[in-house]
Every structure is written in C-alpha cells, then in structure tokens.
Structure 1
Amino acid sequence: MNKMINVCLIGCGRAGMIHARNYNGNLRHARLIAICDPDEGNLAEVQKELQMEYQYTDYREALKNANIDAIVVVTPTHLHRDIVVAAAKAGKHIFCEKPMAGTEEECNDMIDACREYNVKLQLGFMRRFDENFKTGKEVIENKTVGEVTLLKSLTHGPSEPKEWMFDISKSGGPVAEVNSHDLDTLRWYAGAEVSMIHVIGHNFRSPEKAAEYPDYYDTCAVMMQFTNGIIGMIDGAQYVRYGYDARAEILGTHGIVKVGRQNSNNVEVVTQDKTIQAQSMPSWTKLYQEAYVREAEAFIDAIRHDTGTQVTGHDGKMALILVREGLKSLREKRPVFIE
C-alpha cells in the first residue's frame, strides 16, 4: 500500500495530544485528518492548534467517514472495548493506548473483532520502541551476556496523586498506573509468560490519606517467576518528587546490561566543593518523545505492508492480567500462581 494513511484521534487529552502532534507532520506515510472528543470546549481548543479537516464529538460519527483509514484511541479505559469493536466493524485499523480494557473478556472481544474484520490492532507500550530498551532486547537475543537469569525494571513517577488515585479499586495504584510498562517490558525481555507474581506495597508519602484509603500504597515491590525459569523483579513508586525514572537491568550468566538513564541530558557540573550536579528527567513525555514517533511509524508500517503489529492485543491482555493478579497478591498478602 503506497497511499497516505489518514488517521483520526479519539480522545484529545494530554496523552492524546502527544499522538496528535506526531501524526500531524512527523510521519512520512500518515497524516491526522480528524479529531474526536466528547467535550466540545476541549475539542475547540485542540482545533485551534491542529486545524483538522474533520471534528467529531461522537466516535460513531467519525467511524462513518470513509476517508479515515485508522484511529488512535486515547480515551478513558472503560470506553476502549466499545470503540475498538465498532472501529473494527467499520474496517478501521486501530492503535489503542494502555490499559487495553477493564477486563480480560473485553480484551478478548477487541482481539476477536479485529481478527474477524481483518484490521490491525496495536497496543501503546512505547518502551518497546525506545532505542535503549530495544538495545537491551538485542543483547538478550544475541546472548552477549550469556543466558538471562534475572530481569529488573523500575518506574518512579514524580507527580502528586490526584484524589481518585488514592482509591485503588479505581486506579490500581502504582502496579497499574506506572508498572504496567515494566510488566510488559519484562515479558518482552523474558520471551515467556509469568507463572507466579508476588506484590507487596505500602503508603509512605501520603499518610494523611491512610484513614480514608487504607488500601492505598505509593511504593511497591514485585517478584515474578517466568515459565522458562527467569526471575523478574520490579519496583514502582508514585510521588517521588525527584523526577521521572525508568530503567532496567538484564543479568546473564556472563555479564549484565543496564538499560536507560535518569539524567535529562549528558551535562554534569562539578564544583570546587567536589560535588557533582546533574538534572533529572522531568517527565515521561520527554524521555519517550522519540519512542512515541517510532511507535506510530511501526503502526503505519504494519498497515502499509500488511504485517503483524509489534505490540499485539495479546500483549495488552497479558499486561491487564498481570496487573489484576498482582493486585490480588497485594490484597491477600501472598504469591499468586497464574495458569
């Protein structure tokens, strides 16, 4: 397929606008022609910047547009299933941000619909497109450090939690909010599924919320066993204040690989009092700026060349299952074994 792929963004919030700006000029073979958001005020503000040919407040109307080839779904999670199934029936290719859906059954509906109507489905795990994390995968495949024995990954977020995040029945806490990317990364690195997960957590930074939200935790540690014997470890935290932090380690039989960086640039200032100063990464939006572009390029290439997507519906479903089973482990204070 040599034609330009016309894209509609559904959901024009902060994350949605990252995709909007990439599709609106950063991709050779795709262009953003439509935006959709149920908030008319928000839609009008976004239109001032993007100047789109088509605007919609109802995604069902957008899906009737024959000029749209693909959609990018960046809406609240509870809407994903209905939008994706409707888009598949309309013959639109789909990029869907994580979390994929609210339940495993909804994930299956989305996967089945895309298979039935022969459209592409790609999930939004952008770390797989980051050059540092990709190099880590290449090292594993090349056995540069021997056979993998232990995988570690961490994500620490700087932002103060919004009120709804303290209710883990709604937010899931760090396991869902920040560590879903780590869960996907370690599955990708291990090349296997998780057979056991054990999560512990505690509220260290917001003790004033403990009475109202006794289950809330802002810090967690995750231990996993993969079906091929590899051990996985994740640590996650919210409201760390010092900056955004996402790194990984790959321990092999013959060496170790350290993936990612905490510094926002390569500048260090050394002063006469023998201290070293550097700037920390302020946000995930800066750290993964290029990865988001490559993620979009991969989605468009899958459409143009009729190939499989690099992050599949199965990957999205497995991340959801691991979050669910991890929260079960946290609540029940025990390891959970996964069939």
Structure 2
Amino acid sequence: MKIGIMSFAHMHAYSYSDCIMKLPNVELIGVFDDDQKRGNEVAEQYHIPFYPDQAAFLSEEMDAVIICSENIHHKEMVINAAKAKKHILCEKPIATSVEDAQEMIDICKENDVILQIAFPVRFSSPIRKLKELIDNGELGEIVAFRTTNRGQNPGGWFIDEKLSGGGAVLDHTVHMVDIMRWYVGKEVTEVYAIVDSFFHDIPIDDAGLVTLEFENGVIASHDASWSRFSEYPTWGDVTIEVVGTKQTIKVDALKEHVRLFSSEGKTLSHEFFGNDMDLGLIQDFIACVEQGREPSITGFDGLKAMQVALAAYKSSRLNEKVMIERVE
C-alpha cells in the first residue's frame, strides 16, 4: 500500500511516518506541505519526495493520505483528497465547525473513500481492556465517568485560534469524549463547562473543566488542559475512571511504564514498555483500506466529539448548560 502525508504541521505526523516505516508492504511515497522549509526537512529525514504543490501531490499514485495540517485546513485537504479518490486518515479534531465536518463526511461518501479520524487512544491496551470489561458486564450498569487529558502547552499554531479553532479544550476534550461514546454507545445531550487560560500567558484557553450528561443518564466530568510544564516527568496523562453498579475501575492510558530511580543523572525516569497507540491506529486504518470496510473511527465519531468540545466553549461563554443538537 502507498501512503502520503499531507502536512507535518501537527507533531503526530512524525509518529505516524515512523509507524509506516516499520510496516511491511507499506510505502511512504511523499509529503505535501505548504511550509517549504519544513517539507524539505521532512523529505530529507524520511528520504521521500517533497511536493510543494497539493494538486501535483494528489495526482501521484497512492492509496491513502494522512492529513496532519493545522485544524483550519482539514476541510480543504479532506475535500481535495476525496475528490482525488484517496482514502483519508485525518488528525483530530475533524474540523472547527459542525458544518465543515458534515461537508467533509458527505464529500467522502460521495467519492466512495474512507474517512477515519485519528483517535489513537482507542488503541491503548488498557483502554481496550476496559472496553472489554464493560461489554462483558463486569462493571455492571455504567453510572459515571471521570476523565483527564492533561499535557504540555504545544505553542505555535495551536495557540493561534485562527489556525486551531480552539485551545486545550478542543485539543484535549475530543479524545475522551470519543472513548466515553465508544464505551456506552450513547450520545452526549448536555454540557456545562468553565474554560479559560489559567496556566500560561497565551491568547487562547489552556484549560477547562467540562461536565457532561449522556442520553441514558450517565454523567461525566472531564479535565482538559495544557497544565504540564516541561519539567514534568512525562508528557502528561490520559485517564478514565468508570463507575459502575458492580465495580469502579481507573485506567491511565499512558502509564505503561516502569519508574526508574537512580543516583546517577536524573533521579527519576520512566521507561515505557507498553503498546504503541499510534501504530495500532495506523495498522487499523491500513486494514480498513485493504478490506474495504467501514472505518473503526468514522467521520461521524469525529463530528460528535468535536461538537461536545465546541459546546463547552459556548457553555463557558454563556455561563449556562448547553444542549447538544442531534446530528444524524
């Protein structure tokens, strides 16, 4: 299979490219980037061609593209790739508005191409194990969730609302909303949130506390932030606590590590041994394309997760609960 990357603006593009390089019978054929300096550097790093022209890139023979541009450009790139009959893995969030996301979904359907959204947390071993326990009824009836997604301030275009569409709440809410929807198979109906910049002097939100209610009465709280400073021993955390009528279980998707204490150099380090979520995501996307099946994480999944994050901003502005409009 031949795959191309559209933009390395998002840091995940490097991880996805590394994953492709590890896989047999999969070829990274080139990169399009509107930043010529970055495009040339990536081309040299991965020994692949750089295409400064998007149309020329999409005219090349390839099966699929991975889009890792600034959020605001997702719509344009998805539409162009779909019209070029390329299957698509799009970095989250799917877009910056419900209307744009729906248009992207419709265009991909019209052109009979896969649109999968990059939510790699679904491929974390402990997260998948918890899904299995829930489906088997081990926790009983699900009553509530408590989740976190806290990392470092990424800076750059992430803190420019014209390019990102939102700050930490958009960046770090969509992952966990996707997981909760996946776990219970129900939609969020109500959102109340407090969103602001608490940790950094930046022109965009760096944290939010979001409370949710699902259509089946399950309640949830989510802590989304860029609150981890550079000295923090890991990038951050992705946690979920599930409260059931039989059991309560808490999982940290990133905590597959050994804590190493040493008298030489750093006194504490984390040696990771767990599975690679990004590799799981890429392998699943490739399988979807090869088998011609529905993607595991659809454009609609991306739309619904983004819709909740956008509702959190609205709730914070209005200082009131916001109802989620139903999208079919």
TM over 0.5: yes
What percent of counterpart residues are identical? 27
**Pairs within 5 Å for 1:178-193:** 178-193=172-187
Separation in 2 of the partners of 1:30 and 1:316?
Answer: 26
**Pairing partner for 1:218 from 201, 206, 210:** 206
Alignment of 1:39 onto 2:40: no
Aligned residue number for residue 274 of structure 1: none
Structure 1 portions without partners, runs of 5+:
272-276
- SS of aligned partner of 1:78: helix
Against the structure 1 CA distance between its residues 169 and 199, is the aligned structure 2 distance closer, same or farther, given a 3 Å change threshold? Answer: farther
- Partners of 1:64 and 1:169 lie apart in 2 by 26
Residue 248 (structure 1) aligned with residue 246 (structure 2): no
> Could you tell me how far 1:330 is from its partner in structure 2?
0.8
What is the aligned counterpart of 2:6 among 7, 10, 17?
Answer: 10
Q: Report how far residue 200 of structure 1 moved.
A: 1.5
CA shift, 1:204, in A, is 3.5
Aligned match of 2:19: 22
Q: Structure 1 residues 87, 330: closer, same or farther in 2, change over 3 A?
A: same
2:96 alignment partner, SS class? coil
The within-5 A match list for 1:190-209 is 190-206=184-200
Cα distance change of structure 1 residues 166 and 104 upon mapping to structure 2, 3 Å threshold: closer
Shift of 1:256: 1.1
- Separation in structure 2 between the aligned mates of residue 75 and residue 169 of structure 1, nearest angstrom: 9
Instruction: Decide whether the 8 Å contact of 2:169 with 2:309 is kept in 1.
Output: yes
Q: Which residue of 1 aligns with 2:59?
A: 64
Q: Answer yes or no: is the 8 Å Cα contact 1:262–1:280 preserved in 2.
A: no
**Of 226, 229, 235, which residue of structure 2 is paired with 1:238?**
226
- Asked if structure 1 preserves the Cα contact closer than 8 Å seen for 2:159 and 2:167, the reply is yes
| Residue type at the aligned position of 1:6 | K
CA distance in 1 between counterparts of 2:240 and 2:268 reads 20
Are 2:45 and 1:49 equivalent residues in the alignment? Answer: yes
The alpha-carbon deviation at position 177 of structure 1 amounts to 2.2
TM-score (norm 2): 0.88
1:178 match: secondary structure: helix
1:239 is displaced (CA, Å) by 2.9
Query: Deviation string for 1:113-154 (max 9, x for gaps)?
Result: 111111111001110111111111111111111111111210
- Within 5 Å, which residues of 2 pair with 1:1-339? 5-13=1-9, 14-24=11-21, 26-52=22-48, 54-65=49-60, 67-159=61-153, 161=155, 165=159, 172-206=166-200, 217-241=205-229, 242=232, 243=234, 244-260=236-252, 263=255, 265-267=257-259, 269=261, 279=269, 290-339=276-325
Residues 29, 300 of structure 1: 8 Å contact kept: no
CA pair 37-139 structure 1, distance change in 2 beyond 3 A = same
Deviations 1:82-139 (CA, angstroms, capped at 9, x unpaired)? 2111211211111100111122121111111111111111001110111111111111
CA contact (8 A) 1:165 1:171 kept: no
Q: Tell me, which stretches of 5 or more residues in structure 2 are unaligned?
A: none
Given residue 233 of structure 1, which amino acid in structure 2 is its aligned partner? Answer: S
Over aligned residue pairs, what C-alpha RMSD do you find?
Answer: 2.6
The CA distance in 1 between the partners of 2:253 and 2:114, in whole Å, is 33
Q: How many residues align?
A: 317
Q: TM-score if structure 1 supplies the norm length? A: 0.85
Deviation, 1:155, is 1.1
**Structure-2 change in CA distance of 1:233 and 1:31 (3 Å):** same
Distance change (3 Å), C-alpha of 1:160 and 1:296:
closer
Q: 2-side partners of 1:7 and 1:331: how far apart?
A: 41
